[in-house]
Structure 1
Amino acid sequence: MKKAQILLSTYNGQKFIAQQLDSLLQQDHENIEILVRDDGSKDDTVSVLESYGAKYPNIKVIKGENKGVISSFFDLALNASETADFFAFCDQDDFWKPTKVSRAVSLLGKEKSNIPLLYFSRLDIVDEDLQFIKHSPIPPKGASLENALVQNIATGCTIVFNRAMLELFKSHVPAVNKITMHDAWFYLLGAAFGKIIYDEESHLLYRQHSSNTLGMADNKLKSAIVRYKNFQKKGKENPITKQVEEFYHLFKDKLKAEQAKLIRDYLFKQNNFITRTLYTFNTPLYRQNDRDTFIFKILYALKKY
């Protein structure tokens, strides 16, 4: 049976970490390893991890210094098993259904292993007591490089990838301060160089915390205003453009001609008001709904994306 390794990053997660570890240990895929990196927790998270590590030989714990979530997940990927076939990102406060790993491995296993493969899925949004709230939306326009350049739709805790994707990541590791999030980077890699598998089934309970309510407003106008302000706030430092610049810098020699043109147009048409304005009307780049695409175009025209 193919080996899967779960890459779990923790930080001050004592409230839910035991419940999450229990769900990982109850996976119906029999060949699983769990690599945990603690990002310098100041609560009892490490004690919980060490107790599990002492009890279960398939759990390995790395006690690291506080680097932040992106660096922590990158460290996990860079220290991943040399014998595993598949790798799954994991957050500390969710709850995995028993089929979480086996479902991803089953779908990924149908594809050619020499191609970078990225699986991600729908999820069940729940409250802190794991009571169901709603399903996450299915991306209506699908995954593509045209989407990945300006939006991440691959929620990290659902991502599973193969060894070819891991080796692609390790070949050109980006500067952490130039990307938006680890999952966004992997989505970009998959969209450009691999194959993306989206699963409309959910195999994960995703805890929705009170501090994570962006886009949850029921009123469409209010939601649009909130999202515009959020994009604009992020746009002050143009993090998405920085990420695209880093991607182009690292991989321009590996891109197909049409991919390179797609990226150059996005990056360099910003520098002139006329070309920037024309680009907003003709860009092939898109977000998953028309409202967010419209907001993206406005901010791009204002050179704030």
Structure 2
Amino acid sequence: MISVCMATFNGERYITQQLSSILQQLNVEDEVIVVDDNSSDETLARISEIDDSKVKIIENQTNIGPIKSFEKAILNSHGSIVFLSDQDDLWMANKVSDVMKAFMDPQVMMVVHDAIVTDKDLNTVNESWNHYNGNHFSAGLGSVVLKNKFTGSMMAFRRSIETKVLPFPAEIPMHDWWIAVVCLQEHYKIVALPAKLMKYRRHDSSVTGHGHNFFKMLKGRYQLIISLLALRRE
């Protein structure tokens, strides 16, 4: 069983297209867990219009942010393989099948892949997100602590790592960053597929890929290190 975990917030413009690209790849027993972070637009109405029993909606009564929303989605999912998804991208028709092939190796704990970078209208900006963002998955733990090379929307992992990564520690920079550094610290087998299995839409409302305050960035990396050291002591 596959679980797709998604956090939404004011995503009415793109959510229908994204969910459609996901649902056409899933089997009847699979699920999409959507945690809506108290949207003020028509996001929930657009999701309800799809009317697919695989889609389960959880509504936050207050805005808790993407990290805790993804945590809630993962905790409420049931699949042995968990895919993370943004609300505004477009999955290629072979994304699920290609990723699941990699999981045929029982030692593989995480699979990541590349994507085509687009603007808000899906016009190509760069043929490779990994090239665009300078991602190198052969880099060690220290390098990834300094700069996140793992993007959640291009990530899937086995349910078995949940006990290691959840709950997400307070004040980490982002959930995907934490999942990646935990997997590296635990020496889990990670497969990086070179295939572009998604159109990664970049626009003014995108959460990832934008600059941040220097001191906030420094604090986030410090928190990653402290949280990793705490995990080692458990």
CA separation of 1:211/1:63 partners in 2, compared to 1, >3 Å: closer, same or farther? closer
Q: How many residue pairs align between the two structures?
A: 228
Q: Work out whether 1:47 is the aligned partner of 2:45.
A: yes
Aligned equivalent of 1:6: 4
Q: Within 5 Å, give how 1:1-305 maps onto structure 2.
A: 3-27=1-25, 31-52=29-50, 55-65=51-61, 66-81=63-78, 84-112=79-107, 117-134=109-126, 135-138=128-131, 139-140=135-136, 142-170=138-166, 173-177=167-171, 179-193=172-186, 194-210=188-204, 232-235=214-217, 238-249=219-230, 251-253=231-233
CA separation of 1:127/1:8 partners in 2, compared to 1, >3 Å: closer, same or farther? same
Equivalent pair of 1:8/1:89 in contact (CA under 8 Å): yes
Name the CA distance, whole Å, in 2 between partners of 1:34 and 1:141.
27
The 10-residue stretch of structure 1 (21-30 or 145-154) with the greater mean CA deviation from structure 2: 21-30
Name the CA distance, whole Å, in 2 between partners of 1:68 and 1:214.
13
1:151-182 Cα offsets, whole Å, 9 max, x none, are 21111101100121223223xx23332x0100
Name the CA distance, whole Å, in 1 between partners of 2:137 and 2:103.
22
Secondary structure at the aligned position of 1:238 is classed as helix
Name the CA distance, whole Å, in 1 between partners of 2:179 and 2:20.
27
- One-letter amino acid matched to 2:34: V
- Aligned-pair identity in percent equals 25
CA separation of 1:232/1:108 partners in 2, compared to 1, >3 Å: closer, same or farther? same
Name the CA distance, whole Å, in 2 between partners of 1:211 and 1:104.
28
Equivalent pair of 1:14/1:48 in contact (CA under 8 Å): yes
Equivalent pair of 1:29/1:99 in contact (CA under 8 Å): no
CA separation of 1:38/1:17 partners in 2, compared to 1, >3 Å: closer, same or farther? same
Which structure: greater helix fraction?
A: 1
Greater RCO, CA 8 A, separation 6+: 2
The 10-residue stretch of structure 1 (131-140 or 9-18) with the greater mean CA deviation from structure 2: 131-140
CA shift for structure 1 position 46? 1.0
- TM norm structure 2: 0.88
Aligned equivalent of 1:278: none
CA separation of 1:231/1:67 partners in 2, compared to 1, >3 Å: closer, same or farther? closer
CA shift for structure 1 position 95? 0.5
1:218-244 Cα offsets, whole Å, 9 max, x none, are xxxxxxxxx7xx573434x52201221
- One-letter amino acid matched to 2:113: S
- One-letter amino acid matched to 1:119: V
Secondary structure at the aligned position of 2:146 is classed as coil
CA shift for structure 1 position 183? 0.2
Consecutive unaligned residues in structure 2, runs of 5 or more = none
Equivalent pair of 1:70/1:176 in contact (CA under 8 Å): no
CA shift for structure 1 position 98? 1.2
Root-mean-square deviation (CA), in Å?
A: 2.4
1:134-154 Cα offsets, whole Å, 9 max, x none, are 122353462432222222111
Name the CA distance, whole Å, in 2 between partners of 1:29 and 1:76.
19
CA separation of 1:215/1:24 partners in 2, compared to 1, >3 Å: closer, same or farther? closer
- TM norm structure 1: 0.68
Equivalent pair of 1:88/1:159 in contact (CA under 8 Å): yes
Equivalent pair of 1:28/1:102 in contact (CA under 8 Å): no
Secondary structure at the aligned position of 2:182 is classed as helix
Secondary structure at the aligned position of 1:149 is classed as helix
Consecutive unaligned residues in structure 1, runs of 5 or more = 217-226, 255-305
Structure showing greater radius of gyration is: 1
Which structure: greater strand fraction?
A: 2
